Amino acid sequence: MTSTLFSATLALASTGLMVYSILLAARIFKQLPSGNFPKWWKLLLVLIIGLAICYFVFALAISKREPDSLMQLVVAVFFFGAVFVLLTLQLFMHTFTSMEKTGWLTRNSILDEQSGIYNLRYFEMRLNEEFERARRYNHPLTLFLIEIDNFKKTSNSYGRIMGEKVFAAICKLIKEGSRASDIIARYGGDQLIILLPNTALFSARKAAEKYRAIIEDKVLDVDDEDRAVISVRLNYTVSIGVSALQNDVKRAGELIRRADIALYKAKDRGRNRVAIYGE
């Protein structure tokens, strides 16, 4: 009787472990990205449910008879099988969570937290890569330096948090009007920098004018929660300096320097305009 009770208890414990495995597998299934993974995990989930049912039926059957040594061995194998399934799922869950956190850290190490665009460190890395590629294969490469005109008035009037919200809203407008290949980053408190791979100066001029017009024509509705104001309607313009890769450009940083010179020309000419280096 004692061996029967022990075997039945072990079989029921195995069933409990399998039920817990079902819950864990379902949790993993909900977090999986789209693709083929969910299909296979769904199949695995069905198999684990089937095993749990078999374990439960086996536990009921073993409780009604005196198990011999072979049956006790089977019970032990079933138990360790249930433990193995559970540990495997736990290991996958911890691995999946660690990979997800690593991905989050990677994303946040290259993004500007306030605006959601790339930070300058990542931009400089990509600039060097695209610069070397453009020189090696003789591809065109252009760069924009964009400054929000009179942006400091916003921070002075509404505070720094409101200024960051306005900057983020303008970044969103520019990202929506950009190509997937364009690399947009924050260059300073009120400046953005954009790298346009495989873009000749003629096309870059048109793109810069498009950005300028998008910002000029848009009235921003920005929530100002800290000042108990529902929203503030603001209108901005931008000045844009443009530089292009030429034969005399030997360093990637020279593109930024030339775009900066062109930007100051745009500001000197009255702001809300595009200026090309060398013109």
Give per-residue pLDDT as tens, 124-145.
Answer: 999 999 999 999 999 999 999 9
The per-residue pLDDT for 75 is: 77
Nearest to 26 by CA among 84, 89, 104: 89
Phi/psi for 113 (5° steps) reads: -60, -40
Identity of the amino acid at 71? M
Does the CA dihedral 217-221-222-227 come out positive or negative? positive
26 Cβ contact list (under 8 Å, min separation 6): 45
CB 56 within 8 A of CB 15: yes
Percent of the residues in the chain that have a pLDDT greater than 90, as a whole number? 37
- Rounded to whole angstroms, the Cα distance separating 142 from 205 reads 10
Q: pLDDT, tens digit, for every residue of 136-189? A: 999 999 999 999 998 887 777 777 777 888 888 899 999 998 998 999 999 977
Beta-carbon contacts of residue 127 (< 8 Å; ≥ 6 apart): 143, 183, 195, 252, 255, 256
Backbone angles phi, psi at 140, to 5 degrees: -70, 155
Task: Give the tens place of pLDDT for each residue, 11-39.
Answer: 778 888 888 888 887 877 776 665 555 67
Residue 65: other Cβ atoms inside 10 A: 11
> Residue 253 and residue 193: Cα distance in Å, rounded?
12
Does residue 62 carry a pLDDT above 60?
yes
Domains annotated on the chain, with CATH: 2-110 (no CATH), 120-276 (3.30.70.270)
DSSP the chain: -HHHHHHHHHHHHHHHHHHHHHHHHHHHHHHPPSSSHHHHHHHHHHHHHHHHHHHHHHHHHHTTS---HHHHHHHHHHHHHHHHHHHHHHHHHHHHHHHHHHHHHHHHHHB-TTTSSB-HHHHHHHHHHHHHHHHHHT--EEEEEEEETTTHHHHHHH-HHHHHHHHHHHHHHHHHTS-TT-EEEE-SSSEEEEEEET--HHHHHHHHHHHHHHHHHPEEEEEEGGGTEEEEEEE--EEEEEEE--TT--SHHHHHHHHHHHHHHHHHTTSSSEEETT-
What does the pLDDT read at residue 235? 83
State yes or no: pLDDT of 233 exceeds 70: no
pTM: 0.62
Closest to 198 (Cα-Cα) out of 240, 241, 244, 254? 244
